[in-house]
Amino acid sequence: MPAQIIDGNALAKKIRLEIAAKTAILTAKGVKPGLAVLLVGEDPASQVYVRNKVKACEDVGMYSILERHPADLSEKALLARINELNHDKNIHGILVQLPLPKHIDSHRVIEAIAPEKDVDGFHVANAGALMIGAPLFRPCTPYGCMKMLESIDYPIRGARAVVIGASNIVGKPMAMLLLQAGATVTICNSKTKDLTAHTKEADILVVATGKPKMITASMVKSGAVVIDVGINRLPDGKLCGDVDFDEVKYVASAITPVPGGVGPMTITMLLLNTLEAAERVKA
């Protein structure tokens, strides 16, 4: 029997309704949650993502600004703009879309965002807080993955979880969230030997490799829950994940599709983090 499909669009819609209701209440109390989205350059995928983020804010009644800067914007100018937004009372969340052009040091830029406005959860203070189990903001993609696991009532405590990919924005925070939920976690990376030996052990398999359809049915334990973070565009223009969905769905008990899986949840968790940032200002 094919796996349960964890529908990210449907879950995102449900959570966005809850966010809209809470946003209306907070706005009535005099605090309208506000997000600033900064894009540097013209990366086509990034342009779509930032548009979707701002549209999502409008849909739930949040205030948002989208700033598009030219690719040759200096790092100094970007840091200065972030500093202004750090002091802007109408802005509760600041997001700099990644990747940035090569001449800009992403680390320096992320560190310039006030931690209490870092709704991406990438600042070293927020990464550290997450590490010790006291997160201020959970990074949006891993947070969305956790919500998807919760949505199917999967018993994470005691489960064996394998995360493939050790990036600061997905793999590492994902592993921390799973660990804090009581899973036994392995993080694999591009140098891991005998990857299948690890993936075959996973009750929960989270894949963020950036390699289209890399995870095949023979690499997955029967009945596993498979969360696919990858978004790859194939030569025919279609999107696919890092998991070979069409074959793995016959081995897994639940699986996320691409598109319509983790992606929509990423933006929804951004809204949730922005709401929480504004609520903290009110409290």
Ligand X SMILES: Nc1nc2c(c(=O)[nH]1)N[C@@H](CN(C=O)c1ccc(C(=O)N[C@@H](CCC(=O)O)C(=O)O)cc1)CN2
Ligand-binding site membership of 166 (annotated): yes
Which are the contacts of 165, defined by CB distance < 8 A and separation ≥ 6? 171, 188, 189, 206, 207, 208, 209, 210, 229
Q: How far is the CB of 141 from ligand X (least distance, A)?
A: 5
259 is an interface residue for ligand X by CB under 6 A: yes
Under 8 Å between Cβ of 100 and 109: yes
Residue nearest ligand X, CB atom distance: 263
Question: What's 134's DSSP letter?
Answer: -
Q: How far is the CB of 269 from ligand X (least distance, A)?
A: 8
Helix (H) / strand (E) containing 263 = helix 262-282
Ligand-binding site membership of 8 (annotated): no
Tokens describing residue 28? 């009535």
Ligand-binding site membership of 41 (annotated): no
Choosing from 231, 240, 243, 278, the residue that interacts with ligand X (CB under 6 A) is: 231
140 is an interface residue for ligand X by CB under 6 A: yes
From CA 179, how far away is CA 161, in angstroms rounded?
9
* Beta-bridge partners for 152: none
* Helices and strands in the chain, H and E counts: 10, 11
263 is an interface residue for ligand X by CB under 6 A: yes
120 is an interface residue for ligand X by CB under 6 A: yes
Q: How far is the CB of 159 from ligand X (least distance, A)?
A: 25
260 is an interface residue for ligand X by CB under 6 A: yes
Q: Is 180 a residue of the active site? A: no
Q: Is 120 a residue of the active site? A: yes
23 is an interface residue for ligand X by CB under 6 A: no
Q: How far is the CB of 10 from ligand X (least distance, A)?
A: 12
From CA 130, how far away is CA 107, in angstroms rounded?
18
78 is an interface residue for ligand X by CB under 6 A: no
* Beta-bridge partners for 160: 184
Under 8 Å between Cβ of 55 and 77: no
Which are the contacts of 158, defined by CB distance < 8 A and separation ≥ 6? 182, 183, 184
From CA 256, how far away is CA 93, in angstroms rounded?
28
Question: What's 100's DSSP letter?
Answer: P
Q: Which stretch binds ligand X (CB under 6 A): 70-78, 181-189, 218-226, 264-272?
A: 264-272
Give the contact letters, 86-105, x = binds to ligand X (CB under 6 A), - = no. Answer: ---------xxxx-------
> Given strand 93-96, what is the order of strands in its sheet?
63-69, 34-40, 93-96
Which position among 120, 203, 228, 244 bears the catalytic label?
120
- Touching ligand X, residues 29-48 (CB under 6 A): 48
Nearest Cα residue to 180 out of 132, 137, 147: 132
Q: Which stretch binds ligand X (CB under 6 A): 74-82, 84-92, 211-219, 255-263?
A: 255-263
Ligand-binding site membership of 113 (annotated): no
Q: Is 53 a residue of the active site? A: yes
Q: Binders of ligand X: how many residues, by CB under 6 A?
A: 19
Which residues sit in the known binding site?
165-167, 231
Which residues sit in the known binding site for NADP(+)?
165-167, 231
Residues noted as catalytic: 53, 97, 120
Q: Which residues bind ligand X (CB under 6 A)?
A: 48-49, 95-98, 120, 140-141, 231, 239, 258-261, 263-264, 266-267
